[in-house]
Structure 1
């Protein structure tokens, strides 16, 4: 008979932890967050580094460069160095080749190898007496692209993980701001009641009537495109629903006997808000807040898809999905990778929010 002795929060925590779906959702979210946090350090690629020799490279577990790509790459380098490449021997981790020209070969042309995405710095092994032939050893620069590359050769796995940092951070921060403003505003309106409540909610109705996309476009025209602008735009509208929800809860709590007793004892409005209204409204607030995170992430993705959100070189899942949609015929993996990451995150957050709502329901 320990269950009746549990508080509402302790009982909700026990129900939530006992739900297999809730544990699975938490595990998925934890894995995604951990991958986005530490993954870019482990991929071996910078999210903004362009590999000009690997544009639109499909996903693969194999190590690059592949043997069939070495010959064309050497031909391109030979044109830039204005030499002929002869006697090429491909080893396990390096090439041995001869550079030939009509005149003496300048050692400075060897820097073209180091600038390539396929080769490392070349070392001179021998030189003809007239300087027209140069034998060099060129190491191969091994790399992998597990999710392929984008249109200009940037590693897609690294960019998806970095984009996850931006999307998740924006979702959590914007949700926190929406909760802070919406809870304070809605609780104040519901507790004050009367003319103050009517005036405050008419302001919410006016803000609801503003076209969101036009509002964002106006901000972009005035302030330019930036990540802070996306945060302001999302936070400016997402607190409205929260204010209405908390206002309804506050109106119901205001009619409770313990609130009337506090008013009869002379407790001020601010103290009633802190001690009674906000604590007793936290259940629906937390449940809606968990649903608000995927909504904010989806909204940011929509803005970035329209070109009004995160800008290069920074990226987000919405930016990657927009880029992938433009290249879906030639490089479908550019769309699939960020889309799957976004869908998995949204499904896990939505499932967790539903189970959190059920766990906080005292009738459950």
Structure 2
């Protein structure tokens, strides 16, 4: 690359940066995206809940800042435990950090039944404080397991905040990787077809039309049959299709650009086709390309949701925003937070991507911001 190319690249980057810094809406959108990405990256490590941990005592728990278990739920939980242990819970005293009670039965109480406390999500390992002479009554104490569900739990009792953040990793990674593939293939293919024109353009675009005619779902099913289900397979399937729209958009822009005077001057100076594409055609298509790329990320996320709904996408215990929204939609009447939490994360990301795409389109427009 020549020194002039480096200067052109530096001036383009400087101009884009200056325009973006002057666009407050685009800057706020970029801050939101960085915040969402950072939360999805480190958030699951800070919530205190593994994304696949099932709390059997907390299914469909509403969001709350308070600690669980609530005072009114301890005694019913003890009654359920006593029923499973085939004893009676008597003289229950619930403290701030522990619960004390007497386990009574018609015959001697086996101390091994205390393991039920440790298996519960509400209590820790219990210890015997006193035993009656005939062994029919045990006074025990068990610590309370305090936990918090800021965004509630899902139908199985898994922390929804942790699963939303962990699902954001999958959705954002898939959206960014598929968009990168679409940009890499679509921009190069469309720019070459639009600039070359004639028979080369006709042959290249007929190939695009043939790929458009292939049924996408059938293509994914065939990949699953031969290679099995995986996140990498989704990336391959989506990336192999989404570049087609990008190629058409870039081709239309390239066909208009090749008639400009500066392109004809470059041809008259003897620049090669590759140099003209690199220095004149591709840079002048970046505005609509970036705007489309910003919209392609949410489109890929929604497409992944559709594949997961069909059972061809992300599989349990892994999750994604699409899977969580599909699960929440089925429980919206009884547990609306299961839909609202991942939907709010997705909507915030989509709006930020859209506004940032518009800001980048204006910044990359050689005619200046609109």
Question: What TM-score does the superposition give when structure 1 sets the normalisation length?
Answer: 0.90
User: What is the CA–CA distance in structure 2 between the aligned matches of 1:271 and 1:20, rounded to whole Å?
Assistant: 35
Equivalent in the alignment of 1:15: 19
List per-residue Cα deviations over 1:291-321 (Å, max 9, x = no partner): 2222222222233344432221111111111
User: What is the CA–CA distance in structure 2 between the aligned matches of 1:98 and 1:276, rounded to whole Å?
Assistant: 83
Contact 1:78 1:84 in 2 (8 A): yes
Contact 1:47 1:162 in 2 (8 A): yes
1:108-147 equivalences in 2 (<5 Å): 108-147=112-151
User: What is the CA–CA distance in structure 2 between the aligned matches of 1:361 and 1:268, rounded to whole Å?
Assistant: 24
User: What is the CA–CA distance in structure 2 between the aligned matches of 1:350 and 1:298, rounded to whole Å?
Assistant: 15
Does residue 241 of the first structure (1) align with residue 241 of the second (2)? no
User: What is the CA–CA distance in structure 1 between the aligned matches of 2:118 and 2:70, rounded to whole Å?
Assistant: 18
Equivalent in the alignment of 2:76: 72
Contact 2:286 2:364 in 1 (8 A): no
Equivalent in the alignment of 1:308: 312
141, 147, 154: which one pairs with 1:150?
Answer: 154
Secondary structure (helix, strand or coil) at the match of 2:38 reads: helix
1:26-175 equivalences in 2 (<5 Å): 26-175=30-179
User: What is the CA–CA distance in structure 2 between the aligned matches of 1:358 and 1:275, rounded to whole Å?
Assistant: 19
Contact 1:9 1:360 in 2 (8 A): no
Equivalent in the alignment of 1:230: 234
Secondary structure (helix, strand or coil) at the match of 2:77 reads: helix
User: What is the CA–CA distance in structure 1 between the aligned matches of 2:12 and 2:267, rounded to whole Å?
Assistant: 25
Secondary structure (helix, strand or coil) at the match of 1:119 reads: coil
Secondary structure (helix, strand or coil) at the match of 1:88 reads: strand
Does residue 25 of the first structure (1) align with residue 29 of the second (2)? yes
Q: Mean Cα displacement is larger for which, 204-213 or 30-39?
A: 204-213
RMSD (Å) for aligned C-alpha atoms: 2.3
Q: Mean Cα displacement is larger for which, 52-61 or 179-188?
A: 179-188
User: What is the CA–CA distance in structure 2 between the aligned matches of 1:158 and 1:321, rounded to whole Å?
Assistant: 14
Equivalent in the alignment of 1:212: 216
List per-residue Cα deviations over 1:11-51 (Å, max 9, x = no partner): 23212211111122112112211221111112111111111
Contact 1:305 1:321 in 2 (8 A): no
Displacement, 1:58?
1.2
Does residue 333 of the first structure (1) align with residue 337 of the second (2)? yes
User: What is the CA–CA distance in structure 2 between the aligned matches of 1:149 and 1:193, rounded to whole Å?
Assistant: 57
User: What is the CA–CA distance in structure 2 between the aligned matches of 1:265 and 1:114, rounded to whole Å?
Assistant: 81
User: What is the CA–CA distance in structure 2 between the aligned matches of 1:241 and 1:331, rounded to whole Å?
Assistant: 38
Question: What TM-score does the superposition give when structure 2 sets the normalisation length?
Answer: 0.89
Gaps of 5+ in 1: 1-5
Gaps of 5+ in 2: 1-9
